[in-house]
Structure 1
Amino acid sequence: MNKILITYFCLFIGASLQGMSMSLFLFPHSIPSGGAAGIAILMNHWFNFSLGLSLWLANITFLFFAIRYFGYTWTFRTILSVATTSTIVNILTMKVPHLHVHFLLDLLAGSIFFGIGVGILIRAGASSGGMVIPALMIASYKNWSPGKVMMGINFLIFLLTALVIDYKIVIFAIICQFLSTNIIDFIYELQLQKISFLTANWRK
């Protein structure tokens, strides 16, 4: 019972860090932290949807694939993760003013917090949703690192976001992905001997 409680506590922490990184540091500059975030920014730009709602809609399609490939427990945890992240994004973007310090510091902080959050989610047997789902599927089949696969998939969405909003976005998004995916891979490969149940147990 304690293991389950700590696992879901880690899931909440990871999802909250992810939402905080998006709403406080990355979204104010229209920098997508990933493919789903890029789609969310585009939906906000085209349809004026809230960023939290756009993030949730961007994840729905991939969650259907997740049930068949990863099983119900992993998918349920991912749904909780997406719901928590979307809620955090909505609350922080509506209630907390963006305290802009410096663009590069925001980019660095957002990348670090995002990488830590997603890394914790994967170790807790869930994901951040979105492009992490196909990335984990490909990584499982090819035995590649999930962070690098995710960066390749997201790059195509970054290009579209850059074409629609600002070409400079793709440069900043790639920097964000490079930093965050290396953090994700570090946490993914980290050996947690004293917390053995927090293994990389996202496989079905």
Structure 2
Amino acid sequence: MRSEEEVDVPAPAAPAPAAGPSRASAPYFDPSIHAHTAFEDAQAIFTGVLFVSLALILFAQVGLLTGGTAGAAFVLHYATGISLGKLFFIINIPFYWFAWQRMGREFTLKTFIAIAWLSALTEWSPKLFAIERLHPAYAAVLGGLLLGSGCLFLARHRASLGGATIVSLYLQHAKGWRAGKVQMGIDCVIVLCALTVVDPTRVAYSVLAAVVMNLFIAVNHKPGRYAVL
């Protein structure tokens, strides 16, 4: 029998597991993951930007455009005649601050280099070669694939071409939204705005290019699939 002094003492409760960091507060890039070498980053930025510049050349040849800040630059270029490369560089300036604050110095510096390189290529390319004949549908599909490939080269080496890409990659990290789907929405809005300065048929081909590009990114750029993202 128990004495009156004996009482049941409840077992101590197990400590609650510590809450992990939210998506938004976690570092954008996992610091435990081995980074690429400087040479690997350089060749990826060079190649990715070259792919994108080829896509922009195809679009300019047949009067198409794309989404994101490049698309905004195209719209202003068609409306004003100002150099596409200059407009693209200027439009991206506000996004450097956002990238620096949200995604880190390394990403921002690489993005700045990529944007500067693409701006230069869009200025130089017309002096390097010319395309004699090109169908808009072919330009849309090939250009969309080149854009998607180039953006993935850059993303996997912690860089981008600014603007909508920065926002879509951040939202994928912070909210879990697929980067390709986010950018598809942004791109389609910009392409539709082009109806004020571009023939509707050309806009339709441009929408096709945006769909091809962003479906390619949505399929090939998924959280957790690649170690660097």
For Structure 1 versus Structure 2, the TM-score category normalised by the shorter chain is 0.7 to 0.9
The unaligned stretches of length 5 or more in structure 1 are none
**1:119–1:183 Cα contact (<8 Å) kept:** no
1:8 to 34, 39, 42: 42
Separation in structure 1 between the aligned mates of residue 37 and residue 219 of structure 2, nearest angstrom: 23
Give the match for residue 88 of structure 2: 55
What SS class does the counterpart of residue 124 from structure 1 fall into?
Answer: coil
**2:62–2:134 Cα contact (<8 Å) kept:** no
Query: Pairwise CA RMSD of aligned residues?
Result: 2.0
Report the count of equivalent residues.
Answer: 194
Amino acid at match of 2:38: I
**Displacement after TM superposition at 1:80 (Å):** 0.8
Give the match for residue 151 of structure 2: 118
Alignment of 1:94-109 (within 5 A): 94-109=127-142
**Displacement after TM superposition at 1:79 (Å):** 0.6
**Displacement after TM superposition at 1:167 (Å):** 2.3
Separation in structure 2 between the aligned mates of residue 14 and residue 130 of structure 1, nearest angstrom: 16
Alignment pair present for 1:167 and 2:200: yes
1:140 to 154, 173, 188: 173
**Displacement after TM superposition at 1:2 (Å):** 7.2
**1:131–1:153 Cα contact (<8 Å) kept:** yes
Separation in structure 1 between the aligned mates of residue 166 and residue 203 of structure 2, nearest angstrom: 22
Give the match for residue 17 of structure 1: 51
Identical residues among aligned pairs (%):
24
**2:62–2:135 Cα contact (<8 Å) kept:** no
For residues 69-120 of structure 1, the C-alpha deviation after alignment (integer angstroms, 9 at most, x for no partner) is 1111100000111111111111113432233232222222111111100111
The unaligned stretches of length 5 or more in structure 2 are 1-34
What SS class does the counterpart of residue 108 from structure 1 fall into?
Answer: helix
List structure 1 runs of 4+ shifted beyond 6 angstroms: none
**Displacement after TM superposition at 1:191 (Å):** 5.0
**1:123–1:188 Cα contact (<8 Å) kept:** no
What TM-score do the two structures reach when normalised by structure 2? 0.77
For the pair shown, the structure with the greater C-alpha radius of gyration is 2
Separation in structure 2 between the aligned mates of residue 186 and residue 11 of structure 1, nearest angstrom: 21
Separation in structure 2 between the aligned mates of residue 46 and residue 171 of structure 1, nearest angstrom: 18
**1:77–1:126 Cα contact (<8 Å) kept:** yes
Amino acid at match of 1:8: A
Separation in structure 1 between the aligned mates of residue 197 and residue 165 of structure 2, nearest angstrom: 23
